[in-house]
């Protein structure tokens, strides 16, 4: 029976995950440098969770400085079968209020200062990002969040901005015109890298504010974000544990979207032209096909 090993990437406010059985901190080295922090591996029954704080303990790393490639590589090396991202975000819709969660299933990537692929010179590959989120994992996580007492919105477009500054009003209004639902700084290139690593990915976008477009709400500031974030974090922890409990005794089958085999037809560079040094760095991410 295939077991669930779920990587949990904790966003702003979520720097530790209590309640795991047999929890141990693990230092992982990757060809892409060190991940954000040590990974903590533990169990809830027969489900394994591997927790990684995206910004490091104490929130040491800004969104632009998060080692996204190292983080995804480390989770892959730890044997993760799936990755669930927990992220604070701003709402671009009246109906998505602070304290509520959005199970984003689409992304618009407006980041520009980050390494966005494991592939490049010496080994080129192109994966599909048409449907960047694993619908099964997103559904299970949404169910768990609802069971934890959170109002959950299923589906939505997440606008990933570079940051670290928040939006101008003009930007906020523009993104609303584009039809975006929430705005954040960290789900890209994270989702792209998870896909390249053949890891089903889903995100819980925890709304902390209305960005700055809302005429009747205070423009986003660190103070009011932190207040909502603290409330969201405790419920996110409960949702994660609820998700693990809901999977007890179940056998994990491949993602219905075929994510675990997405590299089968993605490799472009001919075998004779592949750079051996580039291939060494891909041992965990693409070892299945290389």
* Catalytic hit among 82, 109, 181, 209: 209
Scanning 178-285, the segments in alpha helix (DSSP H) are 190-196, 222-246, 276-281
Is 215 a residue of the active site? no
Distances (CA, A) of 80 to 5, 101, 237, 254: 5, 24, 19, 13
CA-closest candidate to residue 287, choices 122, 3, 76: 76
* Catalytic hit among 82, 211, 215, 283: 211
Output the furthest CA–CA distance in the chain (Å, rounded): 61
Query: How many CA atoms lie less than 13 Å away from 19 in the CB half-sphere?
Result: 13
- Cis omega (within 30 of 0) for bond into 189: yes
CA-closest candidate to residue 59, choices 25, 113, 13: 13
Is 46 a residue of the active site? no
Residues marked active site are found at 209, 211
């Amino acid at each position: 029976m295939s077991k669930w090993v779920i990587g949990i990437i904790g966003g702003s406010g979520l720097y530790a995950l209590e309640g795991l059985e047999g929890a141990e901190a693990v230092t992982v080295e990757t060809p892409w440098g060190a991940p954000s922090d040590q990974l903590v591996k533990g169990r809830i029954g027969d489900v394994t969770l591997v927790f990684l704080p995206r910004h490091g303990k104490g929130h040491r790393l800004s969104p632009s400085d998060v080692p996204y490639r190292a983080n995804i590589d480390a989770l892959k090396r730890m044997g993760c079968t799936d990755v669930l991202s927990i992220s604070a975000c701003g709402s671009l819709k009246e109906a998505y209020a602070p304290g509520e969660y959005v199970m984003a299933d689409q992304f618009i990537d407006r980041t520009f200062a980050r390494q966005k692929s494991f592939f490049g010179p010496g080994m080129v590959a192109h994966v599909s990002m048409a449907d960047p989120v694993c619908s099964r994992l997103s559904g299970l996580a949404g169910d768990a969040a609802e069971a934890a007492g959170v109002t959950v919105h299923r589906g939505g477009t997440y606008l990933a901005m570079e940051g670290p500054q928040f939006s101008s009003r003009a930007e906020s209004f523009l993104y609303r015109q584009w039809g975006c639902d929430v705005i954040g700084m960290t789900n890209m290139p994270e989702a792209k890298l998870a896909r390249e690593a053949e890891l089903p990915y889903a995100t819980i976008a925890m709304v902390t504010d209305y960005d700055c477009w809302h005429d009747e709400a205070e423009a986003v500031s660190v103070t009011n974000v932190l207040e909502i974030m603290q409330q969201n974090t405790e419920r996110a922890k409960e949702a994660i544990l609820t998700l693990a409990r809901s999977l007890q005794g179940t056998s994990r089958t491949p993602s219905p979207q075929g994510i675990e085999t997405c590299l089968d037809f993605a490799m472009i560079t001919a075998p004779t032209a592949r750079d051996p040094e580039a291939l060494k760095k891909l041992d965990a991410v693409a070892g299945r096909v290389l």
